[in-house]
Amino acid sequence: MYFHRRNAYFLSKGKNDGGCQSESDSTEEVEARREMVTSPVVNTYPLSSYTFGTKEPKMEKDTSVADRLARMKVNYMKEGMRTSVEAILLVQEHNHPHILLLQIGNTFCKLPGGRLKPGENEIEGLKRKLSSKLAANSLALQPDWQIGECVAIWWRPNFETIMYPYCPPHITKPKECKKLFIVHLSEREYFAVPKNLKLLAVPLFELYDNVQRYGPVISTIPQQLSRFQFNMMTV
């Protein structure tokens, strides 16, 4: 009776294989599996299953961190707390999940997403941002973004770069709330990346414990995703 067989379903390879079923399961094992808390499933496809094109550049609105914080302050005075939404898009390479990140310049990486308009619905806003950053301009090639669950929420207490995964005690007027959503990609997609940005597929093991390179929000995504079951699909 080997238990690794039962838990090996976490990385199962194959088309639409929801889980691993051993042939000779004792009734105990079957009973026990029923009592297991089932993990939410994410199908991840190889990078090769997607097509990447380019489109016109999309420049950042701010040229420096100081500018960005100043603009945030102006917006806060007009519209109150900023809500931003970001997408975790996953692909698989070598049977390991990779996240799609947009790289600006040579170093700074960010998740696709952005600020919601006042009163805008989160899901609609995220779809809008994803199309703006990653979809081709032609209407025929718009992906049907499947926005999944929210996996993390980060709070910005002041007009500073630091953010926390909770609203710090005594902070009654946070300046920004950032929500990360998992996005389920289908088997084939066409992405168009602005010419001035690079799209990277970064493995989870590269992000983990790498705060210096990716910052606290992105480097902790592996932990947020640890409860998911990834189906490594092949094409």
Partner 1 sequence: MGEYEWSRAPAEIPSNPSPLLPVHLCHITEFPSWTATSKVTQHSDTVLRHRPVCYFASPLHFFLSRLFSAFPQALSLIFRMNCEMGSSEDGDRSSSGGSSNYVLDIYPLSCYYFGSKDPLLLKDETLADRVLRMKSNYARYGLRTCVVAVILVELFKHPHLLLLQVKNSFFKLPGGRLRPGESEINGLKRKLSRKLSVNEDGDGSDWEVGECLGMWWRPDFETLLYPYLPPNVKNPKECTKLFLVKLPPSRKFIVPKNLKLLAIPLCQLHENDKTYGPIIAGVPQLLSKFSFNIIDS
Q: Measured from the CB atom, is 104 or 204 closer to partner 1?
A: 204
Q: Which positions from 130 to 149 touch partner 1 by CB under 8 A, shown as an x/- string?
A: -----------------x-x
Question: Which parts of 44-83 interact with partner 1 (CB under 8 A)?
Answer: 80-81, 83
Q: Which is nearer to partner 1, 25 or 60 (CB)?
A: 25
Candidate residues 21, 48, 51, 121; the one interacting with partner 1 per rule CB under 8 A? 121
Q: Is 24 in the site for partner 1 (CB under 8 A)?
A: no
When the beta carbons of 33 and 68 are compared against partner 1, the nearer one is: 33
Q: Does 90 bind partner 1 (CB under 8 A)?
A: no
Which one among 23, 24, 37, 212 touches partner 1, defined by CB under 8 A?
37
| Binding segment toward partner 1, per CB under 8 A, in 6-14, 57-65, 137-145, 193-201 | 6-14
The full 3-state SS of the chain, as one line of letters, equals CCHHHHHHHHEEECCCCCCCCCCCCCHHHHHHHHCCCCCCEEEECEHHHEEEEEECCCCCCCCCHHHHHHHHHHHHHHHCCEEEEEEEEEEEECCEEEEEEEEECCCEEECCEEECCCCCCHHHHHHHHHHHHHCCCCHHHCCCCEEEEEEEEEEECCCCCCCECCCCCCCCCCCEEEEEEEEECCCCEEEEEECCEEEEEEEHHHHCCCHHHHHHHHHCHHHHHCCCEEEECCC
Nearer to partner 1, 53 or 118 (CB): 118
Q: Record the tokens describing residue 127, joined without a space.
A: 């779809």
Residue labelled with tokens 């094109």: 53
Q: Does 203 bind partner 1 (CB under 8 A)?
A: yes
Chain positions contacting partner 1, by CB under 8 A: 1-5, 7, 10-11, 26, 28-29, 31-37, 39, 80-81, 83, 94-97, 116, 118-124, 147, 149-154, 164-170, 172-174, 177, 179, 181, 203-205, 208-209, 216, 220, 222-227
